[in-house]
C-alpha cells in the first residue's frame, strides 16, 4: 500500500501518490515499466509545499498503473486492500492514498484526479475526497506530465483535516465559514435505488427546499472527458506499446484503444468542454453550489470488477467536472445495508475554500454524512 519513508517536520502525517516526484526516490507511477528508475532529481512543487508547512511525509502510496484505471487494482505492486469493505475495490487511480487515510496510517493523503481518481476511491473507502479547481495546485513534478484534466487533491477522515491538507498543498487556500445556509441545487441523475433512496432521503431531511436542476450536456461531458484523457494518455505513453514495455493487461488494452482516438474526435470533445463549462458556470451564477450523487452504483467487489462493464459507470457524475475544471468534493456515507455511497458537491471555479465551508456545513447538519464515524466503527 505505502512505500515507507520519512521526510519533513513533525506536523500532520501525509502519504503521497507514487506519480508525484520526491527527490531521491523513483516515481514508478504504479508501473513495472518505471519501477527501476531513474530517481527524481527534485521534489514536485506540492511536496516542497508540504515540507515547508512542516508536514511529515510517511511514504509513497501505491496506485492504479499510470493513473489510468478506476479499480485501484495493481498486479505488479499489489492491490491496496479496502480496509472497511475488503471484498470491494479500493477505487482508483489513487487507491493507496485512500486506503492509507481510511486505515489511519496518516492524517491526510495526496492523490491526483483526472476523471474522479481522488473522489471515487474516497467514496469506496469511506473518507472525504477533494478535487480543487483545475490549475490551482501546481502539477510540476507529476506523471503524466501533460494533462488538461488532472488535479492534485487530498483525502482525509474529516473536513477539518481535509482543509488542513488543502492549506498545505496550496498556501493560497484560506479557510472560511458560512453564516447562512447555502443556496444549493440538486442535479437530475440516473442511478440505482440502492444508492439514490438514502441520498435523497438525507437531502430532503436536511434541505427540503433544495432546487432540482439539469445539466443537459452532462452525459456528453462524460464521453468527452473519456476522449480527452485517451488522446492525452496516448500522446504521453503510447510509445510504450511500440516498445513492448511491461504493462498490466488492462492498461495495455486502454492505451492501444487510446491510440485510435483522432484529432477530430479530440476537437469535438473540446467543443463539449466549452459548452458544458458554460452550463455549469451559468448554474453556479444562480446557486452557491450544485449537488450530485458521487457514484451511480455501489462500488463493485474485486471479482465483479474483472468485468470492465461494471467499472465504466463509476465516474459518470465525477468525470464531467474534470472536463469543466470546477472544484468538487465527495462526502462519504453508507446505504441501509452498510455499503459505501457518497454525495458530490461542486462549487465555483476558484472558490475552493467556499466549497469546503459548504461541505463542512453540510456534514454538520446532516448526520448521514458521518465521515469520522465510518472510521471509528472500523477501528472498533
Query: Tens digits of per-residue pLDDT, 91-133?
Result: 999 999 999 999 999 999 999 999 999 999 999 999 999 999 9
Asked whether residue 377 carries a pLDDT value surpassing 60, the answer given is no
Percent with pLDDT over 90 in the chain: 86
CA-wise closest residue to 118 among 166, 152, 161: 152
Only one residue has cell 493487461, namely 249
- 31-35, 220-224, 316-320, 332-336 — which is least confidently predicted? 332-336
What percentage of the chain exceeds 70 in pLDDT? 97
C-alpha cell at 179: 453564516
pLDDT of residue 1: 59
**Interval 222-247 mean pLDDT:** 98
DSSP codes, 123-188: HHHTSEEEE--TTSS--TTBSSS--SS-EEEEEESSHHHHHHHHHHH-TT------SS---EEEEP
Cα(223)–Cα(265) distance, integer angstroms: 11
Strands 340-346 vs 289-293: parallel, antiparallel or unpaired = antiparallel
Flag whether pLDDT at 373 surpasses 50: no
* Residue 358 near residue 182, CB atoms below 8 Å: yes
Q: Residue 34 corresponds to which cell in the numbers above? A: 518505471
Sign of CA dihedral 1, 23, 148, 354: positive
Q: Find the Cα–Cα–Cα–Cα dihedral 90, 118, 56, 61, rounded to 10°.
A: 40
User: Which pLDDT belongs to residue 367?
Assistant: 77
CA distances from 57 to 144, 243, 350, 362, 370 (A): 22, 34, 27, 30, 27
- Higher-confidence residue of 233 and 5: namely 233
Q: Grade residue 256 by pLDDT with cuts at 50, 70 and 90.
A: very high
pLDDT bin (cut points 50, 70, 90) of residue 370 is: low
Q: Please report which residue ranges of the chain form alpha helices under DSSP H.
A: 45-52, 95-102, 119-125, 159-169, 193-206, 218-237, 239-242, 249-258, 263-284, 320-324, 352-365, 372-379
Measured CA to CA, the distance from residue 229 to residue 139 in angstroms comes to 16
pLDDT exceeds cutoff 80 at 376: no
What's the pLDDT at 371?
59
pTM for this predicted structure: 0.96
Average pLDDT over residues 332-339: 91
d(CA 224, CA 247): 25
Using CA atoms, how far apart are residues 55 and 374, in angstroms rounded to an integer?
25
- The CATH H-level superfamily of 2-379 is Amidase signature (AS) domain (3.90.1300.10)
In the prediction, which pLDDT does 359 show? 96
HSE of 167 in the Cβ direction (CA atoms, 13 Å)?
Answer: 15
pLDDT of 156 above 60: yes
Q: What are phi and psi of 110, to 5 degrees?
A: -110, 130
Judge whether 113 and 225 are in contact, CB under 8 Å.
Answer: no
Which pLDDT score is estimated for 200? 80
Q: What is the pLDDT of residue 311?
A: 92
How many beta carbons lie within 10 A of that of residue 262, not counting itself?
A: 10
Q: Between residues 319 and 379, which one has the greater pLDDT?
A: 319
State the cell numbers at 276: 458544458
Model pLDDT for residues 163-211, shown as the tens digit of each residue: 999 999 999 999 999 989 999 999 989 888 889 888 888 887 778 889 9
Measured from the Cβ of residue 302, the count of other Cβ atoms closer than 10 Å reads: 17
Give the mean model confidence (pLDDT) for residues 300-327: 95
- Catalytic residue numbers read 17, 93, 117
Say whether pLDDT at 327 is over 90: yes
Amino acid at each position: 500500500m505505502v512505500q515507507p519513508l520519512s521526510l519533513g517536520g513533525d506536523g500532520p502525517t501525509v502519504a503521497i501518490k507514487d506519480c508525484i516526484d520526491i527527490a531521491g526516490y523513483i516515481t514508478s507511477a504504479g508501473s513495472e515499466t518505471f519501477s527501476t528508475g531513474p530517481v527524481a532529481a527534485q521534489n514536485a512543487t506540492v511536496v516542497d509545499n508540504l515540507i515547508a508547512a512542516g508536514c511529515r511525509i510517511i511514504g509513497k502510496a501505491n496506485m492504479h498503473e499510470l493513473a489510468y484505471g478506476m479499480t485501484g487494482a495493481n498486479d505488479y505492486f499489489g492491490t491496496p486492500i479496502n480496509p472497511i469493505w475488503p471484498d470491494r475495490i479500493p477505487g482508483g487511480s489513487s487507491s493507496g492514498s485512500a486506503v492509507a487515510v481510511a486505515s489511519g496510517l496518516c492524517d491526510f493523503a495526496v492523490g491526483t484526479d483526472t476523471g474522479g481518481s481522488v473522489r471515487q476511491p474516497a467514496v469506496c473507502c469511506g473518507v472525504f475526497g477533494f478535487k480543487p479547481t483545475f490549475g490551482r495546485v501546481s502539477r510540476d513534478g507529476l506523471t503524466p506530465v501533460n494533462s488538461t484534466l488532472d488535479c492534485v487533491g487530498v483525502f482525509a477522515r474529516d473536513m477539518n483535516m481535509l482543509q488542513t491538507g488543502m492549506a498545505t498543498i496550496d498556501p493560497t487556500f484560506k479557510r472560511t465559514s458560512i453564516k447562512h445556509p447555502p443556496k444549493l441545487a440538486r442535479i437530475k441523475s440516473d442511478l440505482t435505488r440502492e444508492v439514490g433512496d438514502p441520498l435523497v432521503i438525507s437531502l430532503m431531511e436536511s434541505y427540503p427546499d433544495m432546487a432540482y436542476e439539469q445539466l443537459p450536456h452532462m452525459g456528453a461531458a462524460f464521453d468527452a472527458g473519456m476522449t480527452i484523457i485517451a488522446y492525452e494518455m496516448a500522446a504521453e505513453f503510447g510509445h510504450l506499446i511500440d516498445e513492448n514495455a511491461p504493462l498490466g493487461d488492462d492498461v495495455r488494452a486502454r492505451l492501444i484503444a487510446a491510440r485510435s482516438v483522432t484529432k477530430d474526435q479530440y476537437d469535438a470533445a473540446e467543443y463539449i468542454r466549452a459548452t458544458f463549462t458554460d452550463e455549469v458556470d451559468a448554474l453556479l451564477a444562480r446557486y452557491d453550489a450544485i449537488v450530485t450523487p458521487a457514484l451511480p452504483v455501489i462500488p463493485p467487489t474485486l471479482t465483479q470488477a474483472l468485468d470492465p462493464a461494471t467499472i465504466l459507470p463509476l465516474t459518470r457524475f465525477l468525470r464531467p467536472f474534470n472536463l469543466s475544471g470546477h472544484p468538487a468534493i465527495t462526502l462519504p456515507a453508507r446505504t441501509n445495508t452498510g455499503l459505501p455511497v457518497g454525495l458530490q458537491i461542486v462549487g465555483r471555479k476558484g472558490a475552493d475554500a467556499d466549497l469546503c465551508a459548504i461541505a463542512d456545513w453540510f456534514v454538520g447538519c446532516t448526520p448521514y454524512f458521518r465521515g469520522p464515524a465510518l472510521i471509528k466503527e472500523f477501528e472498533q
